Structure 1
Amino acid sequence: MPELQEQEERLQFDRFDHDDAWHLGSQLVGLARERGHAVTVDIRLGDQQLFHYALPGTSADNDDWIERKIRVVRRFGHSSYLVGQSYRDRGTTFEEQSHLEPARYAAHGGCFPIIVRGTGPVGTVSVSGLPQLDDHRLVVEALGLFLDSGGSEKGPAA
């Protein structure tokens, strides 16, 4: 689990806005297309959905999974995979021990908090369609590439 915590410490933004959501979402869709992944991508700033794209082969079920993962990230402030793994590391499951309704909450990989340094979580970036660890890894890879490239075309904040 230290690796999952390190990801959240490392993958933080100086700022995050609508343009960043567009560029990050487009990058995620591009990675998924290159690899032939049928996924849905969703990016939110607070309660506002800024980016949503469903590749061929997805369904409304993927939208439902995203909503359930987002609720976990908002409630716990950590990636949906980290939350689920924290229960697995204790020899139990999120579904057994959280006392949260499984139809509304899913601690499965694929939703990551958008964290702004000095502010904290301000939104979410989510993927649904692959096995949960692969969903998580795709989001983490895209965030790393996006941040390493300086973010959107506007460049880093001054």
Structure 2
Amino acid sequence: MSTDTSLIDTLEAQEKALVFAAFDETVAYEIGERLVRAARRDEAPVVIDIRTPDRTLFHAALPGSSPDNDHWARRKSNVTLRLHKSSMRVGESYRLKGRALGPDHGFDPLDYASHGGSFPVRVTGTGVVAAITVSGLASEEDHAMIIKVLEDYLS
């Protein structure tokens, strides 16, 4: 992926395009299952987590993933749920300004990580209701796995 403002534009366009008509436990499970299939196909050692601010809707830890991936998933999804943007877009926005998401902005690094891999579940007429998160690959690859599955699911 690019490292300039065109990347921010691409990430923002993804967030605007990948919107759900409705989202519930069944949809979360279907998305989660698709992510698991993609990860298995690619032999990706990832954790997949789909959650609302107060409830886990889907969680899977694939072979080769570690407890650290669970912590990264939680921290990335916290960014998405708080700012209603993909964690990658948040991180890139701060990076382009020569800054980092952290305590100076009210974000404890033990609870927030602005690296790619968490994407907002936006419902038409409602807004962001959940976060879909993948952790275990490079930041861009975590993000790309989610985007590919959502593009297929929502098409």
TM-score by length of 1: 0.89
Tell me the residue number matched to 2:143. 136
* Residue number among 84, 96, 109 corresponding to 2:116 in the alignment: 109
Counterpart-to-counterpart distance in 2, 1:58 and 1:95: 26
Tell me the residue number matched to 2:75. 68
Counterpart-to-counterpart distance in 2, 1:94 and 1:72: 9
Tell me the residue number matched to 1:155. none
1:139: Cα distance to partner? 0.8
The answer to whether the 8 Å contact 2:121/2:132 transfers is yes
Counterpart-to-counterpart distance in 2, 1:142 and 1:90: 30
Correspondence 1:89-104 to 2 at 5 A = 89-95=96-102, 98-104=105-111
Counterpart-to-counterpart distance in 2, 1:96 and 1:105: 10
Tell me the residue number matched to 1:37. 44
The answer to whether the 8 Å contact 2:103/2:109 transfers is no
1:99: Cα distance to partner? 4.3
Correspondence 1:23-34 to 2 at 5 A = 23-34=30-41
Q: Identity percentage over the alignment? A: 43
SS of residue in 2 equivalent to 1:57? coil
Counterpart-to-counterpart distance in 2, 1:95 and 1:109: 16
Q: Cα RMSD between the aligned structures?
A: 1.3
Counterpart-to-counterpart distance in 2, 1:10 and 1:62: 28
- Number of residue pairs the alignment of both structures matches: 148
Are the structure 2 counterparts of residues 110 and 130 from structure 1 closer, same or farther at C-alpha, using a change threshold of 3 Å? Answer: same
1:92: Cα distance to partner? 2.3
TM-score by length of 2: 0.91
Task: Give ranges in structure 2 of 5+ residues lacking alignment.
Answer: 1-7
Task: Give ranges in structure 1 of 5+ residues lacking alignment.
Answer: 149-158
Between 1:20-29 and 1:94-103, the stretch displaced more is: 94-103
Counterpart-to-counterpart distance in 1, 2:40 and 2:60: 12
